[in-house]
Amino acid sequence: MVTISTCNYASEYAPVYSVVSGRTYRFTSSISTDFLSIRSGTYTGTCRAAGTTPLIWTADYSGTVYLHINTNSSCGTASGCRTTTVQCTSCPGAVTIVLALPIALLQPLRTMWKYHLPVALLRVNITPSTVS
């Protein structure tokens, strides 16, 4: 889950970059009655989805979208802060890769660590970034 803002007002919009068509996204506001809408291309672009939080949308568009926050479907406004988030619920998860490396590659580190291991394991977690 990615925090879009910790202080959006109802009446504001926020850009969400790198949305991928075909993937499912979950948009939320910390105010459970907020009405959210998604527009594509520009903040006044085509309305792709709308509803109360959480808003679940399977993207039919790739690129930048704009999350609009209101208190109701009639574009109600309010000045109190709310936290907004987005999560790609259909994106691939993290991948763990374990590599066995010859100690020769780690010779400088062996001295620093003061360990004498013939083989070292290196664990790397890779998490695809789909929304920025």
pLDDT higher than 80, residue 94: no
In the chain, the percentage of residues whose pLDDT exceeds 70 is 70
Q: If you average pLDDT over every residue of the chain, what do you get?
A: 81
* CB-based contact 92:128 (threshold 8 Å): yes
The residue ranges of every structural domain in the chain are 2-88, 95-126
Average pLDDT over every residue of 56-66: 95
How many other CB atoms sit within 10 Å of the CB of residue 67?
26
* CB-based contact 83:58 (threshold 8 Å): no
pLDDT higher than 50, residue 120: no
Check residues 119 and 54 and name the one with the higher pLDDT: 54
pTM score: 0.72
Q: Taken in order 52, 22, 85, 125, is the CA torsion positive or negative? A: positive
pLDDT higher than 80, residue 75: yes
